[in-house]
Structure formats: C-alpha cells, structure tokens
Chain A
C-alpha cells in the first residue's frame, strides 16, 4: 500500500466524489424523474392519489381512510394519528400518518378499547349483542386504513339503515356487493372500502 497523499487523492478521493455526484444525478434525479413521467403517462389516476369525485367535487382518495361521524355513513376504524405538531389526537390526519404504538399490556390500550366498545354499542343500539369485531375498536397501523372487515360493516347495517330510512336488507346487500375478495382468492384479507361503500349509499338515494 502506498498511502501517499497523491495516490490517496487519485485512487480514492476523486472516484468517491465524482461517483457520488454522478450517481446522485442518475439515481436521485433522473430515475425518479423518468418513473414520474412514465407513471403520469401510463397510470395518471393512481399516480396522483386515486382521487374520487362525486358530482364533480373532490371527496377524497379511494386509498386513504377518512374520519366519519354521521350515523348515515359507515364508519372506518379508530385512528391514532396526531395533529401536525404532534400535540393532540387528530384522527385520519393524512399528512401525519402513524399508529398508537400502545403495547399489549398498556393500561391506556385497555382503557381506550373499553371506551370504544361502550361508544360503539351506544351508537349502534340495534346491532347484535355480544363481542364486537376487533378491527372496529383497534387503531390501524397507518391511522389511514381505508377498509373495514365484512363483520365490521355488517355490524353497522342496522344504524345506517335506520338513519337513511332504508330496509336493513337493502343496506346489507349493498355491503355484500362491495366486498373486495382476496387477490387470486389467496393473498390478503377480504375487506370493504368505506368511501366506496358510502358513495354507493349516497348514489342509492338519487
């Protein structure tokens, strides 16, 4: 090894700096730029966020869950996202995604779930008694879960039907027709997209 300053510069420093510069241009600018151009050309709907419109008005993204409170809409899962400054809970804040990170033996988790069950039962007096679907009382990983389980949707059918003056059977059929199955019948879990379902509910009225 000849570690003279000159050989150090020629053999190591120049390649290191030049390669850093050129690969930054290639991998950090050209590559994402080319992917963006192709994505915008081939899949503009998906590349821009799968945004949904109703009556010409932007009402959300098919992939990003929303905070639903009105009894006439199906509700999504609890969300543990915080406000932008992190000071307080702000459910479904889509510019600050995140989970509760509550551990399995955390008091706060147990208390929170207990409160959610009570609230859920209060909001859905006509729902079948007994244990409630797990996904309706636990916060998702992203805080932006756009989906609920079939059980969680069926649980809310009596409330939604009553609030809209529809028969439970009509709403039930609507839920079942909006179930998205497993990929190839194997991968993932069957689920119902909440925005999709609620848009269909509103369309039913017209």
Chain B
C-alpha cells in the first residue's frame, strides 16, 4: 500500500537494464579471461606485454591452485604494506594541500586491511584524514586491484569446473592484469568523465572558501573524486572519498549518477554469472544462478521498500507528514537525500549489500528496523545476490554445490555438478567456506556485546539497536562489504583490530578453501549425464538453491536478529524509545 507506482517503474527499469548488460559484459569477460583478442587489444596489448616483460611474468605458464594462492597472497601483502606506508608518511609527500598529518598506526592498519580485502570499511572521514596522494596512489589503486583479485579468483574456480583431467587453474598475474587493463580501466575512464559531466568533482584544488549570501563562512572539500568514485562502484569496493560516501552531492549529484553508480555496482557481478555459463559450455547454468539472485534481490526490496516508505511511527505521532505525494517523497527521510527520496535510496542500499560494495547513498543506521534488517541479511547470506566482482560468483557456486549435495542426499545418489562428482573433499571445502563467516561474525559480535571495550562504542544508539550496530560491523567486515551502521564509534583500538581481523578472515580464509576446491575439481574426469543426474538449470534447481541460501542464513542468524532488528521493530510499534 505504501509503495508508489513510480517505485515499481524505477525498479522494473533498473532490473531490465541489469538484464540487458549481463550478456554483452559476460561475453566480453569470457574473451578477456580466455586470452583472446578484444577490440581494445590494439590499445592495451602493448601495455600488457610491457608489464609482463618488466615483471618477469611468463603469460603462457599456468599455475596449480597452490601457486595461484601464493601469488595472490604475496601480491596483496605487498599492496597492503604500500598503503600502510603511504598513510603513515603522507605529511611529507606531495598533493596534500590541506597539510593533513599522518594517519594513526591502528587506524592505518585497519584501513590497509580494509582496502586490500575489498571491504572499504572506513573508521575515518576521508576529507579530514587522507591526502589527495593517499586517496589516489593508495586507495584508488586498491579499489582496482582488490576487484581484479576477486575476478581472477572467480575465473580460476570456473576453470576448475570447466576443465577436466587437468592440473592448472590459470596464471594469477595474467588474470589480474587482464581484468585491470581490459575491463576495469576502460570502463572507469569513460565512467569517470560521465560522472564529472553531472557534477562529480575532479581537481587538486585546496578546499574552497565561500562567504554565503546569508553571511556565513563555508569551507568546501574538493579533490580527485570522480576517478575514485567510478571504481568504488565498479569494483564493488564502496570506500567513499568523503565521509558521507555516495550521499555526498560531490560523489553522487543527480538521479542519473545514482543510476550509473547502481549499474556499475551490480553489472560485473551479473555478467560473471553469464561468463561462468559460457566457460562451462552451457549458458543456462549461468542463467540459473542469475535467476536465483534476481529472486533474492526482489525479496529484499519487497521487505525494505514498504518499511522505509511507511516511515517512522514515532515521528508520525509528533506531527510529521511522511505520506508520499507529488510534492514530497515522504517516508523515513532521516539520513536520506531529497533528490533520491525513498525509492532510489532503498534500491541503492539493496544493490550495495546484495553485492559486496558497501557504498551508501543514505545512512543505514537511521533506517527503520526492518529496512535495516535487509542490508544486514543480504550481507550475511554471503553477498551472492549477483555479489561482489568475482566473490559473488564463487560464493554462489559454493551454495550451488551445497544444493546438489542436499538434493543428492534426498534421493540417495552421489551428487554431481557440471558432470563432476562432488565427493567428501569438495563438500568439506564448500562447507568450510560457508561456515567461516558465521563463526567469525557471531563470535566477534558475542565478545563485543559483553566486553566494556565493545559496549563503550555505543555512543549514539543503545537498546536492541546497539546490538544491531555491533552485528552489522562484523557482518559487513567479514563479508567485505564496508557499509555501516555508522553510529557505532568504530575508531577505537578494540574495533580497529577486531574489525581488521574479521575482514582478513572473511577474505583470505574464504578464498583458500575455494581455490583448494577448484584445485581438486580440475583433476576430475567428466561423467556424462545419466537419467539419475539432477539437472542444475531448471526452475526446480533455482527454487532449491534459493531455499538453501535462505534456510542456511535463517538457521544461522535468526536468533541474533531476533534480539536486534526484530525486537526493535516490535518495540517501535509499541512506542518504546531507548
């Protein structure tokens, strides 16, 4: 009743655009990762060859899963150390017109872990903390390579499924370089300029000093924003140049930039599902995963949108008009921008948490309890709803394995996926990958909600909402999302260290079993499909997959959510405040 007609139209058009982009992007990425020539090769192939030569990389030499993992870890460690170094020494380096000092050690460590793991959790306000050089050479760089790392790993896993009786999963250096040069960089060059045309700033100016008409003084932060903004979304990173992230008018000035940013967040993830189908020789395999993701996406919207558009009953009692009309967006406008209203805010929020992005154009801590439950649950389900670039695909494939395993148990047959027998080792690795996250999230959250160091940070909100804030912090860190219930004062030693740990576990302790899984599959033979084979392309598989994702999520997290957002919702209806 509280959703407007315009909401339906916007959402339908958005999903249609995602659908339209899936196949062309997927086809293009298939070419890139198969090492074929693309229409961009005349520009980037010489640069690609130069990079391999200078770095001593033999692009023809592929790696086993162990080699792939070591390369990924060493490369990420080097980048993490470089970022830490930049943060600590920015006061002596150029491009620092505001003369910002060094970033404190524990905050610098948290940030380095955060950007390396594609999380982009931020315990700082960008415009008050990071010099232009740190933003560019430190943070923008990591926005690219953490995304490229995720894509490379997903491709390696897909090769594990697609190849048979083989040993190698590909070459990490080559996959990383090609993802960067042929996919991320060209889209960003064009996308950044489109954002600038709408008002996203791109300069090295000192902050602008304004004497306002009303006799006030205003200092306006500037910077090379557009070049970071586009990769922030495209790489599902999410770390804002400014504290207010994509709610800031210099990051996201219009409805058009909002649409572009949402499409950038979700398109590569959606395209990778198609790429997967293409690489395993049956595009319907990819579309089945796509359909499951789309169903979960719409489910999230169906809960969050009415909750936010319905507004806050506590404010309605005070005499606040929250009715949507031709004259106002209405709804729960605390923490939201007028140009986006409710629909564009909620659509952005569901998009950013269905994937592992974490950019926000509205502030989740002020969402209604059910409106805030959706992003929390989206991340907790593993960000497989199209998901982060790469990470969405490998997360969804783990659920697919689990689904065929459960289906196999029901009929008493050895499960197969894509013609490969799923045996003890594979199920163990998939289960391990899926269990690490809840163990980390709930473990840390339990500790933080009893220790004084954890509770001391509940400076803005208390009661059940305080528990939601703590749960959100570890869910977002572990899921490498980076969005926040930002009322929690996260820049303390306790949260800087435990948060960083949760991010590193969520990224690397998840990746290693996944690559081990790929390494074990790649050596298997393909058995032809028989009459007993459970087809993994039809509606039955899609519904089972959606069911498994929801049931695993619900069984794991329901008790915690009951004490946080769900009880808060009931108390809000009863008129209680905290």
Q: Is the CB of A16 within 8 A of B244?
A: no
Residues in chain B within 8 A of chain A (CB atoms): 6, 9-10, 13, 51, 54-57, 64, 66-67, 70-71, 74-75, 77-79, 82, 125, 127-128, 136-138, 140-141, 144-145, 173, 176-177, 180, 185, 188-189, 192-193, 196-205, 207-208, 210-216, 218-222, 224, 226-228, 242-244, 247-250, 253-256, 258-259, 311-312, 314-315, 318-322, 325-341, 343-345, 360-363, 365-369, 460-461, 463-465, 468, 485-487, 568, 571-572, 576-578
Residue among B138, B193, B327, B464 facing the most chain A CB atoms (10 A cut-off): B327
Q: Is the CB of A132 within 8 A of B366?
A: no
**Quick check: is A99 within 8 A (CB to CB) of the other chain?**
yes
Q: Give Cα A10 to B55, complex, Å.
A: 10
**Quick check: is A156 within 8 A (CB to CB) of the other chain?**
no
Residues in chain A within 8 A of chain B (CB atoms): 1, 10-20, 22-24, 27-29, 31-32, 34-36, 38-40, 42-43, 46-51, 54, 57-70, 73, 77, 84, 92-107, 109-110, 113-114, 117, 130-135, 137-152, 154, 182-183, 186-191, 198-199, 202
Set B9, B144, B193, B576: member contacting A35, Cβ < 8 A: B193
Shortest beta-carbon distance, B104 to chain A, in Å?
Answer: 14
Q: Is the CB of A189 within 8 A of B320?
A: no
Q: Please list 27 pairs of residues, one from A and one from B, whose beta carbons are closer than 8 Å in the complex, sorted by A's number.
A: A14-B55, A18-B55, A19-B75, A35-B226, A39-B196, A49-B203, A49-B250, A50-B199, A58-B208, A66-B212, A93-B219, A95-B128, A98-B244, A98-B486, A103-B461, A109-B315, A109-B334, A109-B366, A133-B321, A134-B322, A135-B338, A138-B333, A140-B336, A142-B244, A142-B337, A145-B339, A151-B321
Residue among A31, A104, A147, A150 facing the most chain B CB atoms (10 A cut-off): A104
Q: Is the CB of A102 within 8 A of B487?
A: yes
Q: A73-B214, A103-B487 are in contact. Are A46 and B173 (CB under 8 A)?
A: no
Shortest beta-carbon distance, A84 to chain B, in Å?
Answer: 6
Shortest beta-carbon distance, A177 to chain B, in Å?
Answer: 15
Set B66, B333, B568: member contacting A135, Cβ < 8 A: B333
**Chain B residues whose C-beta falls within 8 Å of the C-beta of A152 in the assembled complex:** 328, 338
Q: Is the CB of B340 within 8 A of A188?
A: yes
Q: Is the CB of A187 within 8 A of B258?
A: yes
Residue among A19, A132, A141 facing the most chain B CB atoms (10 A cut-off): A141
Q: Is the CB of A14 within 8 A of B56?
A: yes
Residue among A94, A189, A190 facing the most chain B CB atoms (10 A cut-off): A189
Set B75, B365, B578: member contacting A101, Cβ < 8 A: B365
Q: A73-B214, A150-B328 are in contact. Are A144 and B312 (CB under 8 A)?
A: no
Q: Is the CB of B333 within 8 A of A32?
A: no
